[in-house]
Copies of this chain bind each other. A is one copy, B any other.
Amino acid sequence: MVQLDDLDRAILRLLKEDARLTISEIAERLNRPESTVHFRIKKLQERGIIDRYTIVLGEALRPKAVALVYIQVETPIIEDFLEKYINHIMKTLSILPNVLAVARSTKDSLVALVGEENEEKLNKFIDETIRVLPTLKRVEVIPLTELVKGGDVIGFLVRV
């Protein structure tokens, strides 16, 4: 289990909000000496608690229509092929730029997060690129119309 005290957490929360804050700004906000904040951030990085620093892309680059696509793969007669089928589909989907994320679910299923400029293009993409993949048994589309929590996750995932 990871050991973090209140100061560590306060620093992480500030950096999550704005990773450009300087050590002296953080020190001032938390009313702690700069040397302490400097040491804590160094430790958080060394321990891998802070994995990396990144940017979130703005609205202009985010797809406007987003959906989760749940895919169940057909179980082949030779069951060992199932693993091959599913790996192939996951790899195929991962390469596509408008597939934002891919996750394996159960032995025979996976989920993809897909995005496009608008609903029409999104449906076209799902119909013409996903549904036609071989060995699929079932495809369920769950449109995401409004992100209530974790709202800027799309800006994190989108590529340029």
In Å, the complex CA distance between A152 and B157 comes to 9
User: Are A57 and B47 closer than 8 Å at their CB atoms?
Assistant: no
A49: which of B48, B61, B99 is its contact (CB, 8 Å)? B61
Contacts of A110 in B (CB 8 A): 148
CB distance from A98 to the nearest CB of B (A): 12
In Å, the complex CA distance between A50 and B20 comes to 12
User: Are A143 and B48 closer than 8 Å at their CB atoms?
Assistant: no
* A94-B148, A105-B144, A148-B94 as given contacts; A54 in contact with B51, CB under 8 Å: no
Among the listed stretches A9-17, A26-34, A127-135, which one makes contact with chain B, having 4 or more residues with CB under 8 Å of it? A9-17
In Å, the complex CA distance between A100 and B53 comes to 19
